[in-house]
Homo-oligomer: A and B are copies of this chain.
Amino acid sequence: MATSYPVDSVGLVSPQSVTFNTPLELDGGHTLESFELAYETYGTLNADASNAVLVCHALSGTHHAAGYHADDDRKPGWWEACIGPGKPLDTERFFVVCSNNLGGCHGSTGPTSLNPATGQPYGADFPLVTVRDWVRSQALLADHLGIQRWAAVAGGSLGGMQALQWAIDLPDRVANVVAIAAAPRLSAQNIAFNEVARQAIRSDPEFHEGRYQQAGDRPRRGLMLARMLGHITYLSEAAMREKFGRDQRGANGDYGYNFDVEFEVESYLRYQGQSFVDRFDANTYLLMTKALDYFDPAAEYGGDLGQALAHTRSRYFVASFTSDWRFPPSASREIVRALLDTNKSVSYAEIEADHGHDAFLMPVPQYLDTFTAFMRGINLGAAA
């Protein structure tokens, strides 16, 4: 029986993988002698390889950005709202690539992979990686795919920061940058939330100093807490109010006077936490939060973001969402201001949306329309 996918979906997709035997030197001083990247592609690369778009994922994302892995898949890839025929990243026109970040837990080399030096999973021995390390590793993927210059590097949240880092580190290889709901660096409050998440994981007795795989164990409780906390920061106060309010699970409105789930919001968070534990690795979560904390491209330019971006050769699309308190419009405006200060071509959309940070994953009309307009304005095959 043939399953039909929505006409604006890329439909059935298959993950791919490539192993690089080139040593990769990491910012932290370690060298990976070889590593694997899992990735997916959607659309067709054109003859002069000028229509390729790299999509970068956020903290807990994967290379599965669009389409379905099987006919009975209940959910498509994480950026289905933005990738597909007629969507902003129009697969009739663009060849879209998304890779699982190095250090991930969905096919790319990371803490759950075997360490060739020991024959055991890396676990806590997997080195911390930075956003720059991700750019380095993805540049090898671009070489592998025969892509000299991306028509665009795009992402939301941490993925948007990664897109900025691409333009900074390899200016000749990025024609356009799409940075949605991103920030030039994490605030003290952002770092604080990350630190509580890390402490939740690392203080879980089943964390075993990060060697839980060898111990046949997993820090489920810690990772669940980290995810519950994350979800609070992904939603706006208004979205939570609208979605849950003070609604109780029981119909009669009486209180239970115990610690069972009582309010809908508690049920939602527990469910989100529990389901995350089944699909994510705690060491990967830890290193992703550190990569976020460390991201601060202005730092080596005396804190001047404009100077960090001055030498870049991309056009930019920046978008933020009014109710996003994780990476609020003020953070995006700082990026835009730095780009304007150095006379870069930048389009900026501050989008009215109640969904909080999660809005970057959602089909908010103004967001899709402005994103589409920017992508349509990209002149494929233009000289660098």
Query: What residues make up the interface of A, taking CB atoms closer than 8 Å to B?
Result: 27-29, 127-128, 185-189, 191-193, 195-196, 198-200, 202-205, 221, 224-225, 228-229, 231-232, 235, 237, 240-241, 243-246, 253, 255, 257-259, 262-263, 265-266, 269-270, 273, 286, 290, 293-294, 296, 299
Contacts and interface: CB of A to CB of B under 8 A. Distances in A.
B228 A225 contact: no
Contacts of A235: 189
B192 A240 contact: yes
Nearest to A328: B237
Contacts of A299: 253
Contacts of A255: 27-28, 294
Nearest to A230: B196
A232 B232 CA distance: 13
Given A27-B257, A29-B257, A188-B245, 20 more contacts: A27-B255, A127-B257, A188-B240, A188-B243, A191-B246, A192-B232, A192-B240, A192-B265, A192-B269, A193-B232, A196-B225, A196-B228, A196-B229, A196-B269, A199-B221, A199-B273, A200-B200, A202-B259, A262-B293, A263-B293
A120 to B, nearest CB: 20
15 contacts: A27-B257, A28-B255, A128-B257, A187-B241, A188-B245, A188-B265, A189-B240, A192-B232, A192-B266, A192-B269, A193-B232, A203-B221, A204-B221, A205-B205, A259-B290
Contacts of A296: 246
A202 B224 CA distance: 13
A336 B241 CA distance: 21
A237 B258 CA distance: 33
Contacts of A257: 27-29, 127-128, 290
A192 B245 CA distance: 11
The 5 closest A-B pairs by CB, nearest first: A28-B257, A188-B240, A203-B221, A188-B244, A128-B257
B191 A266 contact: yes
A269 B188 contact: no
Contacts of A191: 246, 263, 265-266
Nearest to A205: B205
A259 B124 CA distance: 10
Most B C-beta atoms less than 10 A away, residue of A231, A241, A263, A286: A263
A225 B202 CA distance: 11
A186 B265 CA distance: 12
Nearest to A193: B232
Contacts of A262: 293
A16 B132 CA distance: 61
A310 to B, nearest CB: 21
A225 B246 CA distance: 24
Contact of A229 (B229, B231, B259): B229
Contacts of A205: 205
A203 B225 contact: yes
Contacts of A258: 128
